[in-house]
Amino acid sequence: MACSAVSAVEYVSFREAITQSIPCSGKIERWKPASLKQASDAALAATRCRAQGSLGGVYVGHSQHKLDAICFIDNVIGRTEYITYCCVLNPDGSVRRVTIMAYREAYGSEIRREAFTQQFISKTATDTVRLHKDISNIAGATMSCLAVTERVRFLTRLYQQYLFDDLATWVEQRPVSPTAPLAGTYAAVRSGMVGSSVLTCSSQENDDEIQQRLERALTLAQTCDAQINSWVPDSDIAALNVHKQQILRPYAVRLLTRAIQWYQQSGGYFNPSIRPLIELWKQAEVAQKQPQAADIERARLHSDFKNCVLDGGKVRIAENMRIDCGALRKGLILDVVAEQLTDISGVLSFGESSFKALHAEQQIALRDPQQLSVVRGSVTLAPYTALACSNAAGQLFTVAGHEMSHLINPFTGEPVSRLRQAWVCAPSAADADVLATLCCIMPIDEVLALLDKQAGCEASIWTGQKFVQTSGWQENPLEKAAAP
């Protein structure tokens, strides 16, 4: 018999699952009760759970000694492979949210759709929670539906009957955490994969028309991404990297036009053609050896974005160049989608890194980019303005025992300080994304001078030693928090 391996499809990352599930807590912490194994065995027996599972972790959101929510990251075998999902319970034990994070079976991934997961909302340990009774099946995914249903029933009983008192005591004994700013109450929320990230469209109003418009917004985002994502094989940017010249579709023209403008305005610090340098450092990580100066210089010569020539809808690049506008792509997608939702009050977001307010102002929690469970304050976004955050230590190369930032200085060819973090507000989400990245790359005085020239743009930057802000940054709650 021939066997084929099935690759996991990750729909939602761990960080996204936690922060989207418990968005308004002063602090989110992992809880490891000593009684968890004994309590789990008792709950499994009490619920007669037949599914084979493995509890990955228990995370608790709390503010001012008050429990906000409890999030279980769980793994359960569907037919033959593990399904990873998160189940979030309210303090009273009712289900707030079930999200499929990763699916590994060859068939049945439809269970991640809301038609299935929303059936669990408000269920408690006193409800039946059984497939074909109060939970409907998804055709073609019966075993996966059964497995998740069994485990959700187990988790509600585990919390309400066996962990409730212990958790209340634990939260009461934790150090006082701040009261998190409310991010808004959203009546309609639609999330979908755009590239390798989750785009969430949230509206404060809800009716059938708004639901349809949010669905169309996700489709538009995916259409835009299909043109501009260099990692999508059929995209215009991927084709340009192969053929070195390309006739571009409108979104790709818009992307490269803005990229060239930022390359010029930043004096070359914003450089979408540094992939040769990134790959050099990836090779150094594999070899566990610092690259030679001559190798860095050679990669730098292949990373000269001035050799990208855009003429209307036609573009050409040098033979050894490759373009990746990742620092601009998410923001541009948010801007494109927002243009189609101008009369909706709500917010668009890519995880915790990029936000765009729609028709009404929105209060957005500022999370530490290195510790997304920690809320450090908030900003109020005016209608149609954006917030982006960047973290030089978001991804790291480890070479010869030294951790180095994934952000590269295009002039030295070397990783920048991994201590930098930045939050930027701007009228355009694309500009906010670029500026947040530049705040982690450029010398502080130079990036502050650049920000001063940008109308409506404000920033708060953690240098590794102190916060530095532009003059118009909102009263900075970050300054009052412990430094990262």
At 433-463, the pLDDT tens digits run 999 999 999 999 999 999 999 999 999 999 9
Domain with CATH 3.10.520.10 in the chain: 212-480
Helix axes 326-338, 429-439, angle to 10 degrees: 160
Residue range 225-252: mean pLDDT, rounded: 94
The sign one gets for the Cα dihedral 124, 127, 129, 135 is negative
Query: What is the third-level CATH fold of 212-480?
Result: T-fold (3.10.520)
Amino acid at 277: L
* Other CB atoms within 10 A of residue 64 CB: 13
Could you give the maximum distance between any two Cα atoms of the chain, in Å? 69
CA–CA distance, 215 with 206 (Å, rounded to integer) = 13
Tell me which H or E stretch contains 61. strand 53-63
DSSP state of 408: B
Q: What is the pLDDT of residues 348-391, one digit of tens each?
A: 988 678 999 999 888 887 776 666 556 667 788 999 999 999 98
Say how many CA atoms lie within 13 Å of 141 toward its Cβ: 23
Residue 354 to residue 363: CA distance in whole angstroms: 14
Interatomic CA distance for residues 91 and 182, integer angstroms = 17
Q: What is the Cα–Cα distance from 469 to 457, expressed in whole angstroms? A: 11
* pLDDT of the residue at 394: 67
Contact yes or no for 390/436 (Cβ under 8 A): yes
Write the pLDDT tens digit of every residue in 167-189. 999 999 988 765 544 445 577 77
* pTM, full prediction: 0.69
Question: Tens digit of pLDDT for each residue in 40-76?
Answer: 999 999 999 989 999 989 999 888 788 888 999 999 9
pLDDT tens digits for range 331-357: 999 999 999 999 999 999 886 789 999
Distance of alpha carbon 33 from alpha carbon 121, whole angstroms:
26
Residues in the chain: 484
| CA atoms of 19 and 14, how far apart (whole Å) | 9
Taking the chain, what is the end-to-end CA distance rounded to the nearest angstrom? Answer: 54
What pLDDT was estimated at residue 297? 93
Question: Comparing C-alpha atoms, which of 284, 437, 296, 279 is closest to residue 354?
Answer: 437
133 Cβ partners below 8 Å, 6+ apart? none
Question: What average pLDDT is seen over the chain?
Answer: 87
